[in-house]
Chains A and B, each alone.
Chain A
């Protein structure tokens, strides 16, 4: 579909979003995602879109609220502390059923933390993040190619179900360069059908209202329950995952994003030693591939979750497998990428523990 390019993950995100029809970007600088707004600052004018360097993260997310309300494919990006600042606006967009798209190129935390790649924002991403009852569609790329190709899917899911969509990635994937191809035809936003809720000129039609505020007794619950039906549909239809060598595996590693790449190194080493290891990689973090993990639980001896956080993904895996198999954890928080060698060591420990107490380690 297109030539092979060598791109930085952050640039691939920005270019992928533009090719997906994104015509509004507002952002505020923070390492390690600065290439995204920098790229957008020259690329949006080329395609007739708008780029705003906002005065703050809070301003940027609220600009996104306004732009998305017009039916324009709109995006913001930031890194962990900045995404925390945006949470109020994300909750408002969820409450107003606006299909905003945002990216978290996560770094080590909590607090100001450091600027290395990390996965400590998992709960914030998959459990809502802001206030109120809502869900965000969350995709976790593990290569520069996926960084470039996932924005389109995020826009499409966001618009189909009228929910916020995000990409949760990290500083390593944002900063690294790798070959990629954009595997979809470029979207001309003019060819997209105007949504029947979008604001704009209302001459000749009924007024439309976009908002998240309702004081009429019982009405807000009605709205929230209607939205919950869409969430149920997303959980039924939009799960994405990759499983490698799981068919004959005694133990299956569960990891997403850059941690899954470290795991694929460990799988290779373990298989060379005759240990039957597989890798299960959730691509959507919400909806989570619960059913697929539950099915695997009947066939494998154990799971080993590898995450660059203290033990967040492991909760979702345990809920999914319903304690049918032991779930071990190897956790490297605050900006450390595990090595294939250390994961291999944990695989051996987990297999030795068998059905006993799960092995949990952080080094």
Chain B
């Protein structure tokens, strides 16, 4: 299996930590993984994006130029990444913040109200987890359990209650309760 992912949004939406979490979960799952952040002239409030590869084979290039899956967390990211998705690929869109819709008809579009899910859990910072939950459901590349297992390794200083809320957001994002 090979799964190339791009995650994109505002700085502060947990774009980079979502990418690290996916990579860590893939590693614990026994897969080959890479994570690569965009590190251009980024600034606070600007856009951030990263590439993650999860593969059963050795990963060659860590920069995903033709993603199987794109997670779009804010409006500007949609226009930037819509042209790159592989035909037949998946675009997960945070419909709480993204009002436009892709024009392409050869990709699967999945709408998730990430911010609403996070607000319902009274933890507005974990909207990214709802998107990762949808990622698990749509791609099958990772299980929610694998991500939950990686969480304490990546968020080393998070309290157990907070990690539990993260798992709930993952499940809600995947349409589970």
Contact = CB atoms under 8 A, between A and B. Distances in A.
A337 B63 contact: yes
A262 B61 contact: yes
Contacts of A177: 20, 23, 34-36
B65 interface: yes
Interface in A162-188: 171-172, 175-179
Given A6-B23, A6-B24, A6-B27, A175 B39 contact: yes
Nearest to A263: B60
A340 B61 contact: yes
Contacts of B27: 4, 6, 179
Contacts of B32: 179
B33 interface: yes
Contact of A176 (B24, B35, B40, B65): B35
Q: Looking at B35, B59, B60, which has the most chain A CB atoms within 10 Å of its CB?
A: B60
A261 interface: yes
A175 B60 contact: no
Interface of B: 20, 23-24, 27, 32-37, 39-40, 58-63, 65
B39 A176 contact: no
What 7 A-B pairs are tightest by C-beta distance, nearest first?
A265-B60, A177-B35, A176-B62, A176-B36, A261-B60, A179-B27, A6-B24
A32 interface: yes
Contacts of B63: 172, 337
Contacts of A334: none
Nearest to B153: A6
A339 interface: yes
Contacts of B40: 115
Interface string A245-282: 00000000000001001101100100000000000000
Nearest to B27: A179
Interface of A: 4, 6, 31-32, 115, 171-172, 175-179, 258, 261-262, 264-265, 268, 337, 339-340
A268 B58 CA distance: 11
Contacts of B37: 175
A31 B39 contact: yes
A340 B60 CA distance: 9
9 contacts: A6-B27, A6-B33, A6-B35, A115-B39, A172-B36, A175-B39, A177-B23, A262-B60, A339-B61
Contacts of A337: 61, 63
A106 to B, nearest CB: 14
A74 to B, nearest CB: 28
Nearest to A174: B39
Contact of A264 (B33, B60, B62): B60
Contacts of B62: 172, 176, 178
A307 to B, nearest CB: 15
B3 to A, nearest CB: 16
Given A172-B62, A176-B62, 17 more contacts: A4-B27, A6-B27, A6-B33, A32-B39, A171-B39, A175-B36, A175-B37, A175-B39, A176-B35, A178-B33, A178-B34, A178-B59, A178-B62, A262-B60, A264-B58, A337-B61, A339-B65
Nearest to A114: B40
Nearest to A265: B60
Contacts of A339: 61, 65
A32 B39 CA distance: 8
A168 B67 CA distance: 30
Contacts of A4: 27
Contacts of B35: 6, 176-178
A105 B34 CA distance: 18
Contacts of B58: 264
A2 to B, nearest CB: 15
Contacts of A178: 33-35, 59, 62
Nearest to A175: B39
Contacts of A265: 60-61
Contacts of B23: 6, 177
Contacts of A179: 27, 32-33
A262 B39 CA distance: 20
A362 B65 CA distance: 19
Q: Looking at A175, A176, A261, A265, which has the most chain B CB atoms within 10 Å of its CB?
A: A176
A171 B37 CA distance: 11
A164 to B, nearest CB: 28
Q: Looking at A6, A172, A265, A337, which has the most chain B CB atoms within 10 Å of its CB?
A: A6
A178 B40 CA distance: 20
A339 B61 CA distance: 8
A32 B42 CA distance: 13
B20 A6 contact: yes
Nearest to B58: A264
A115 B41 CA distance: 9
B82 to A, nearest CB: 20
Contacts of B33: 6, 178-179
A261 B62 CA distance: 9
